[in-house]
Structure 1
Amino acid sequence: MANLDKSEEKSAQMLAATRNMNETAAELANNDVKFHRMTSNEFAARQDASAARLLNLVNILYSATGVSMESKFELPMELTDRWEEIHEANTELLEKADLQLDSLTGQKENLSVGKFELSRNTLKPELMHGDIPKPQLLFTETINNFDELPFKPRLTSKPNAIVSLADSLELVPGTFGRMMYVNPYTVEIEKAKYPKYVSKLCKPIEPMPLETSEPIWVEDEASIKSMLKELAQEVAIAVDLEHNDTRSYIGLVSLMQISTRSRDFLIDTLKLRGKLQILNKVFTDPKIVKVMHGAGSDVTWLQRDLGIYVVNLFDTFFGSTMLDFNKKSLAYLLEHYCDFDTNKKYQLADWRIRPLPEEMAYYARCDTHFLLYIFDRMRNDLLGRGTISVVNKFGVERETTGIAEVLQESRQLAQKSYEWPVYDEEYGKGIGGWLSISTKFKIFDGKQLDVLRALTRWRDQVSRAEDEGCQYIIPNRYIGMLARRQPRDRAGVIAIISKSTSSSVMSRVDEILEVIRRGLDDGIAIDAEMTTAGQEATATNEQESEKQLVSDEMTQMRRMNLASELFPESDSSKNFLVGQQPGSSCAVQSKVFGNLL
């Protein structure tokens, strides 16, 4: 207890010191700092010494995290350029501090669950980037990342159909003015009725203890059929996917997890690619609810890679929103409903690795093992809310129930349809676009933005050609650094990209230099074009002004002549000239003035 008291005392002292420092810094404006540096050598020297001391502290703290470091921080400006590195290290430090505090206060005496310790440290390098051949090289289909035709549903048959497959393949306007196919199960999803039990209170069924069974690995057609036979007997199944978006341009569904009340299945979607459409017998069966969490991407990934569609989805993310939970993640639901502490670091793992390491298989299994129990508990909580009022986007209020809203949101989500990614050069949105990089790295300067756009356009083309993720070719942080620094030689480019890029890009240093040069030249050309247009507009305005001036002078002369004729040797002519109306000749002047106008 004495240690805790001492810790609280230290924390109070640090808080007070930090508050005083922030208040003092706020009183000293940036311009004042520049002024004092210019007028006081002592001030400048002390500021430089403080900066050097802070940089040294940053380097010391960084090294304590265990996070790989590009290089030591040498200059204060690097703290801005390499902010993403600092953020990563800071997050790691805070997580370690959190664990130590929990351990000290006894809030979490044992940080392990089951047989694996759920360490919050970063993943082992070999789990993040597997040194394996690209699975897509073994696919029977040809990968074409330059295809400009709409993505066509992979379906070869349509189980549980209301509308035939042929009549379901309808083209409609899609994103960026391109055509797209609607979801071929749109009618079935709209007309499907959820089983009645979904809207009734239930006694939650506890999940089977993890230690009492092993997951079933599905990697051949025989095991698919065996699993399908079991799934067909269920009224609800839990589904999740693990995805790799690093070593493929559009990404790869690398693993599927399906859980029933008694079994957990891990399906090798890489080995079985092209053989899993048979699962549509279950996935489109309206009598079987498919429970997923945050299925916005999963729904379209299933369509894109496996030709699988979902009818009667229940997305627990919408339930979290309707119940006003502070957090909406699956990790939070596991903790809230199951008192299960998981670690989402494995989201960053390379799920293409085979054989799948035991710790990764354990994590994957946990994502669906508890989900049906959460489904039970969440439905009860939603039903306990009774009738609620909701307001739609048009401001119309209506009475409904929480469970009805979740089902409607899930139904709409299931109707999504996959489209090929399009590089949005104009607005920079979407996969590999420049907008998020510009915002994150505050790249708004004209030349920097020109280079950024040129680099992201080039990266997109290289990623498509090599079937690699844009972040694998060159991560966003390095794209941002290249755009800001605009190196003009090979050494400058290599200094930025050498730490975290693909080997193939290291052979493209000259290309990157050319892209930077072209980006600058294009920017200059655009500036020149705008300048020319501006000059032409200015010249036109000047000509118009000269014409107007001549016209005004002629009008004045006509007024003067008329005034002289109407009011000879009178001051009234002067009044008329400036628009004043002498009382004795008001009617005459108004008539003349009106005719002039």
Structure 2
Amino acid sequence: MNSVLNPEAPEFYPHLTSVTQGGYTSINKTIRSSNNFPSGTSLELFKTFTDFNFVTCKLSESVVVQSNEIIITELPAVKLKFNDNDYNTEKIVDANDSMLDRININIDSICKVNKSSDQLVDVIENGFKVSSWNKTPVIAKIQVGSAMFIGAKNIPRPQLTFKDTIDNSESLWVPKISDKPNNIKPLALNILYNEEGEAVGYEHPYKVELELYHPPSSFIDPDPEPPSFPPPLEKTKLTYIDTESQVDALVKHLNDVKELAVDVEHHSYRTYQGITCLIQISTSEGDFIIDALAVREHIHKLNLSFTDPKKVKVFHGAEMDVLWLQRDFGVYIVGLFDTHQAAKVLKISGLSLKSLLMRYCQVDADKRYQLADWRIRPLPDELVKYARMDTHYLLYIWRRMKNELLEAASGQPHLLLSVFEQSRQICGVTYNKEVVHDNSHLGLYVRSKKSFNSRQMAALKLLYKWRDSQARVLDESTTYLLPNHMLLSLAEALPREVQGVNACCSPMPPFVKQNLIAIHRMLLSCRELPMEPQLFQMPQSISSMVNVAHHPLISYNVHDLTHYPEFSEDQPINLDQAAECIENYIDFQPDINAFKPTSDSETGNIVSNLNVDAKLFIPPFDRYRKYRTLAQMEELKEFKDKEAKIAAIGKGNELIKKEVLIKLQEAKALVEAEEKSETDKPDAATEVDNDENVIQKTVQRKRKISSDKRERKDSVAEATKEDKTENKPKNNQQNKMKNKSEIKSNVTRFNYKNVNYKKFYNENEKVLKQPKMKFKKHK
């Protein structure tokens, strides 16, 4: 192994550094490239192109060949197949498990963990006591790029030993301060309410003191001598504080100094709200590291010096440090100087502490341990050095930046006072618990850049709120219980089977394994929801641009405004400069006639109801907004119609039974009316003369009877046909009956006396008496 990675190991692979770093770089590029491949509907569209299919097939074959070369060293009998993803995935998982098992066995054998016989002898001889090898945390270091991950096993959860209980509920957070040193107004905890009368938090205990704060003249006037450069870490005294007596000694020492540099180290992965693990303080006498886990209930004594307005407290990026000190210890700050805010005012390119250390101290700070687990006790030497570096040079940097701020303002203190003012506003922020509402999941959804339908959005919302509630109960972070990428994968896939949940959460976190059935049921319930139309929503950035574009004070012209003062969100607003710019904007006049204001455009009605013949120029986006509104209305109308049909079906069979009975009654009435109309007709047979031929009479009577039967059959068929049609109104049936009766009354009766039926009879007989074909019989 390379000595850089492990100094205690011999050099048996001289090129291990290049191999590991080159392999990491290749894997990183491969993952980035694969993430850019199309997926979902986009992939189906790309598959229609022959060139795309050809390239993907070549890539797949190359991946299979390279994977076989890697797997053959671990499992010689396994060989991946082309175009068989399920088989290949299963074999790769088996190969990975085999490799990890072999690595774990080797590590255990080196660490002497598997010597169970010796441990059993120790237990028998010394009694059933927990041996030291199981108490000490097992520290692991993993370097990824420029960052170093330091984690450990067997770390007891420190919040279990706290004397103050951890409240993760959504109730109001109550400040922990019990006494108020350096006060102008006595301690009083006042609740703040919003416009609806709901309690939203507590007033800052040092609000009056912060409003009246003004830095002493010694911090504003230029220094008579340049600041002295601090000695290196090796020659500076270090005091590690983990007892109450040491805290008292530190408080006594801080009362005698005028300047102190402070920093905080925080852990948030294995707790819901977070835990402050370390507090670093540097003064002219040396460096101090406070073990905040060991003396948590005594750190509130620091308020005596932290709220003293005659002392300057130097932080770098104090926004979160101020909140963490309030939440865990009830410590507040009055008299803050933030070097991060000073770097913004001086317009320094690098705003990080690493950049400031290199700029002012020529010290290249090692920032690889930003993601370390600060709960590890005892602290490793590299973490102690990293913690000291954050505050050791900070007092020197503050003095250098103070002189530069005075020089930039030609000796005037207004730039320096602006930094103190911005730092004062940071100190005035109060801590409040995170509240999860119905739209909290939208932030994660927007950052993912995915496109979900209504079922997937319902699953994301349900899992997000359930995960948050479980994290509050267990006092674990939400990302530890269920990482965000797994949460999005479950909401997007909505697996039908439990195996699908396993595929989305690989490697599966312990919490997911314990609640596998509950997660699967939630996903199935979301899958059964009805699909809702995906309405168009204008992004916030576009809507803000539209509002600005339609503002009456701003024209469509593009001008060079470099000679006007710059505006930034980080800088305070100057109302005089803003008024000056608005006045100049009013004087701008458009050069193109199409953009000149008219009677319609002055009222903000640029598009005149989609009138394509409008003389005023219609921007494309405005036309899109109008057409989009019409599309939304049609989509909503269609959706409401579907909802109405579904609701009608869901009412049950009573409505259908009523409609069927009504139709049957109408059909029966129609049949009765037809029979009555037929019986009222005069019989045509009575008008036949007795002198006519008997054959003609019988033929006429037969034709009459057959026609009557046919008409009755037709009327019954029509009635049954109308009975089957459910949606025809009753008025249409009545109108048909009325029209039939009118037609029958208007038709004149035909005289059948002189009709020669023999003519038709003879023709029919001729047709029937056609000569038969004669066939010869072949013998």
TM-score (norm 1): 0.66
Distance 1:366 1:33, change over 3 A: closer
1:406 to 392, 399, 419: 419
Distance 1:516 1:120, change over 3 A: closer
The alignment status of 1:375 with 2:398, answered yes or no, reads yes
Note if contact 1:331-1:342 (Cα within 8 Å) is conserved in structure 2. yes
1:246-257 equivalences under 5 Å are 246-257=269-280
Distance 1:307 1:318, change over 3 A: same
Q: Which structure has the higher relative contact order (CA within 8 Å, separation 6+)?
A: 1
Structure 2 counterpart of 1:217, one-letter code: Y
Which residue of 1 is the match for residue 518 of structure 2?
511
1:270, CA displacement in angstroms?
1.2
- 1:178-234 residue CA offsets vs partner (Å, 9 max, x unmatched): 420011011111112212222233312312211113521111111001111111111
Mean Cα displacement is larger for which, 517-526 or 478-487? 517-526
Which residue of 2 is the match for residue 477 of structure 1?
485
Q: CA RMSD in A?
A: 3.9
Which residue of 2 is the match for residue 187 of structure 1?
208
Which residue of 2 is the match for residue 4 of structure 1?
none
1:498, CA displacement in angstroms?
3.8
Q: Determine the C-alpha separation between the residues in 1 that align with 2:272 and 2:292.
A: 17
Distance 1:332 1:522, change over 3 A: farther
Distance 1:32 1:419, change over 3 A: closer
Note if contact 2:266-2:274 (Cα within 8 Å) is conserved in structure 1. yes
Q: Determine the C-alpha separation between the residues in 2 that align with 1:337 and 1:261.
A: 18
Which residue of 2 is the match for residue 423 of structure 1?
436
1:191-206 equivalences under 5 Å are 191-202=212-223, 203-206=226-229
Note if contact 2:241-2:290 (Cα within 8 Å) is conserved in structure 1. yes
Structure 2 counterpart of 1:413, one-letter code: I
Which residue of 1 is the match for residue 23 of structure 2?
none
Mean Cα displacement is larger for which, 202-211 or 241-250? 202-211
1:515, CA displacement in angstroms?
2.5
Mean Cα displacement is larger for which, 169-178 or 231-240? 169-178
Distance 1:452 1:343, change over 3 A: farther
Which residue of 2 is the match for residue 490 of structure 1?
498
1:44 to 53, 70, 82: 53
Q: Determine the C-alpha separation between the residues in 1 that align with 2:255 and 2:508.
A: 46
Structure 1 counterpart of 2:383, one-letter code: M
Note if contact 1:171-1:181 (Cα within 8 Å) is conserved in structure 2. yes
Which residue of 2 is the match for residue 157 of structure 1?
179
Q: Determine the C-alpha separation between the residues in 1 that align with 2:181 and 2:640.
A: 63
Structure 2 counterpart of 1:381, one-letter code: E
Note if contact 1:294-1:315 (Cα within 8 Å) is conserved in structure 2. yes
1:217 to 199, 218, 240: 240
Q: Determine the C-alpha separation between the residues in 1 that align with 2:466 and 2:41.
A: 40
Q: Determine the C-alpha separation between the residues in 2 that align with 1:58 and 1:330.
A: 44
Which residue of 2 is the match for residue 131 of structure 1?
154
Note if contact 2:282-2:392 (Cα within 8 Å) is conserved in structure 1. yes
SS in structure 2 of the partner of residue 347 of structure 1: coil
Structure 2 counterpart of 1:415, one-letter code: G
Note if contact 2:262-2:313 (Cα within 8 Å) is conserved in structure 1. yes
Q: Determine the C-alpha separation between the residues in 1 that align with 2:160 and 2:469.
A: 20
Structure 1 counterpart of 2:463, one-letter code: L
Q: Determine the C-alpha separation between the residues in 2 that align with 1:379 and 1:43.
A: 61
Distance 1:34 1:353, change over 3 A: closer
1:535, CA displacement in angstroms?
2.6
- 1:115-149 residue CA offsets vs partner (Å, 9 max, x unmatched): xx997757676x2355311111111122221242x
Distance 1:452 1:31, change over 3 A: closer
SS in structure 2 of the partner of residue 361 of structure 1: helix
Q: Determine the C-alpha separation between the residues in 2 that align with 1:31 and 1:218.
A: 60
1:25-174 equivalences under 5 Å are 38=48, 40=50, 44-50=53-59, 53=62, 121=145, 127-148=150-171, 150-166=172-188, 168-173=189-194
Structure 1 counterpart of 2:519, one-letter code: I
Q: Determine the C-alpha separation between the residues in 1 that align with 2:167 and 2:41.
A: 55
SS in structure 2 of the partner of residue 274 of structure 1: helix
Larger Rg: 2
Distance 1:176 1:524, change over 3 A: farther
Q: Determine the C-alpha separation between the residues in 1 that align with 2:640 and 2:405.
A: 61
Question: Gaps (5+ residues) in structure 2?
Answer: 1-32, 70-83, 86-140, 535-634, 646-779
Q: Determine the C-alpha separation between the residues in 2 that align with 1:537 and 1:500.
A: 40
Note if contact 2:316-2:340 (Cα within 8 Å) is conserved in structure 1. yes
The alignment status of 1:499 with 2:541, answered yes or no, reads no
Q: Determine the C-alpha separation between the residues in 2 that align with 1:484 and 1:118.
A: 32
SS in structure 2 of the partner of residue 346 of structure 1: coil
Note if contact 2:175-2:330 (Cα within 8 Å) is conserved in structure 1. yes
The alignment status of 1:344 with 2:367, answered yes or no, reads yes
Q: Determine the C-alpha separation between the residues in 1 that align with 2:381 and 2:531.
A: 56
Which residue of 2 is the match for residue 105 of structure 1?
none
1:473, CA displacement in angstroms?
0.8
1:233 to 256, 266, 272: 256
Structure 1 counterpart of 2:216, one-letter code: P
Distance 1:51 1:186, change over 3 A: farther
The alignment status of 1:208 with 2:231, answered yes or no, reads yes
Question: Gaps (5+ residues) in structure 1?
Answer: 1-21, 61-73, 76-116, 389-398, 540-597
1:535 to 626, 636, 641: 641
Mean Cα displacement is larger for which, 471-480 or 205-214? 205-214
Structure 2 counterpart of 1:169, one-letter code: N
Which residue of 1 is the match for residue 570 of structure 2?
none
Distance 1:513 1:231, change over 3 A: same
The alignment status of 1:455 with 2:463, answered yes or no, reads yes
SS in structure 2 of the partner of residue 373 of structure 1: helix
Distance 1:435 1:410, change over 3 A: same
Which residue of 1 is the match for residue 283 of structure 2?
260
Distance 1:270 1:119, change over 3 A: same
Which residue of 2 is the match for residue 287 of structure 1?
310
Note if contact 1:312-1:411 (Cα within 8 Å) is conserved in structure 2. yes
SS in structure 2 of the partner of residue 128 of structure 1: strand
Distance 1:38 1:516, change over 3 A: closer
1:324 to 327, 347, 350: 347
Distance 1:362 1:47, change over 3 A: same
Q: Determine the C-alpha separation between the residues in 2 that align with 1:406 and 1:330.
A: 17
Mean Cα displacement is larger for which, 42-51 or 321-330? 42-51
Structure 2 counterpart of 1:185, one-letter code: Y
Note if contact 1:174-1:180 (Cα within 8 Å) is conserved in structure 2. no
SS in structure 2 of the partner of residue 314 of structure 1: strand
Which residue of 2 is the match for residue 544 of structure 1?
none
Identity of aligned pairs, percent? 34
Which residue of 2 is the match for residue 439 of structure 1?
447
